[in-house]
Amino acid sequence: MEKKITVIRGDGIGPEIVTEAIKVLDKTAEKFGHKFEYTDILMGGCSIDACGVPLTDEAVATAKAADAVLLGAIGGNTSTSPWYKLEPKLRPEAGLLKIRKELGLFANLRPAVLYSQLKDACPLREDIVENGFDMMIMRELTGGLYFGDRKTEVRDGLETAVDTLVYNENEIRRIAIKGFDIAMKRRKKVTSVDKANVLDSSRLWRKIVNEVAKDYPEVELEHMLVDNCAMQLVRDPAQFDVVLTENMFGDILSDEAAMVSGSLGMLASASLNDTKFGLYEPSHGSAPDIAGQDKANPIATIISAAMMLRYSFDMDKEADAIEAAVSKVLDEGYRTGDISSEGCTIVGCRKMGDLIAERI
């Protein structure tokens, strides 16, 4: 099978970690008989330097012509980089907002995985996480409170701010379908998170999710109020498979899940549109302080590449092979500096990529 991948290496450690992800993808393609064609585009600070804007229309067109996009990281030091002296619409992160909008990326997938080998990095008690956990936070990305009408005005002599939370049934249905589709590739359980005891938007959310669930009889569905979900994430994170929720709740819960998993260097993410197309990236930033020093952890980007194979290309066996290779390297005691512990062998970014590729 042949697939076209648009590559955004970006800023800081982005080029280093993307290089290792491509190394692993190429080894996977060789083993399973595929061909991946890569086309680079600029986005972020490097695009500002070369083109004067964080993302050009030509780069967007290239991304749209691909089967998926692999992104490293963008941005720099916000206090010292000249990029952050520009107006907001010209700063590096504006490129990310633009590409999400242009590609229609409404579904954010953020896995939170605690590998048993790294359980010492988890802040939770050992008896809670002794067997690790593996959940997927499925967040609606383009609706809700963050995109509703807002205003600040004076009412009865008092300065008053108003933010509007709006969802229509189509927005809910399409993210619910994505959530159930993802669950079918995992352990077939969806936890839909809302605040239906208070909010009309949540009551509509629950109604539409129940309707979608009828088309997925193999998937177990449970509803959970957001405050209870926040508690359950620290009480028993292993109970969750796919957590399906709206934009603001997903923003908060995904950060909580990331915290209990122990290391940002291990956290992948994806943003999908209403086809198989997606943009895949690590959840961490560009870490300019260690850029070019071979210290970066490429695992989150490598796992993001595995997600691309699974969710955009339906290459489940290939994704399994990458994830198994990561686990094997960890079993063997290899670590980058950010996840190191006593008795482990510390390796650099390039070596970690080599080790994972060798075990595909």
Domain 1-113+262-360 matches domain 123-261 at the CATH topology level: yes
- Taking the C-alpha atoms of residue 98 and residue 100, their distance in angstroms, rounded to an integer, is 5
Question: Where are the chain's structural domains?
Answer: 1-113+262-360, 123-261
Q: Annotated catalytic residue: which of 49, 57, 215, 227?
A: 227
Q: Which is catalytic among the residues 64, 119, 134, 146?
A: 146
Active site residue 146: yes
- Which residue has 């194979």 as its token pair? 309
What are the tens digits of pLDDT across the range 206-233? 999 999 999 999 999 999 999 999 999 9
- The Cβ of residue 154 has, within 10 Å, a number of other Cβ atoms equal to 8
The fold for domain 1-113+262-360 equals Isopropylmalate Dehydrogenase (3.40.718)
Q: Does the annotation mark 98 as catalytic? A: no
CATH of domain 123-261: 3.40.718.10
- 3-class SS at 226? helix
Nearest in space to 357 (alpha carbons), one of 67, 19, 73? 19
Q: Which two tokens stand for residue 349?
A: 């970014």
pLDDT at 264 over 70: no
Reported confidence tier of residue 131, pLDDT bands at 50, 70, 90:
confident
Nearest in space to 63 (alpha carbons), one of 91, 36, 35, 38: 38
Calculate what percentage of the chain has a pLDDT beyond 70: 99
* Token duo for residue 15: 């080029």
Model pTM?
0.87
Judge whether 35 counts as a catalytic residue.
Answer: no
Task: Give the pLDDT confidence score for residue 340 in this predicted structure.
Answer: 85
Q: What is the DSSP letter of 159?
A: E
pLDDT at 310: 95
Residue 227 is among the residues annotated as catalytic for this protein: yes
pLDDT reading at 347 higher than 70: yes
Give me the pLDDT at residue 266, please.
82
> Is 251 a known active-site residue?
yes
What band does 247 get if pLDDT is binned at 50, 70 and 90?
very high
Q: Over the stretch 163-196, which tens digit does the pLDDT of each residue have?
A: 999 999 999 999 999 999 999 999 999 999 999 9
- Cα→Cα distances 85→42, 80, 91, 95, 177, Å: 20, 9, 8, 16, 42
Q: Which of 195, 295, 328, 351 is catalytic?
A: 195
Is a pLDDT exceeding 80 seen at residue 116? no
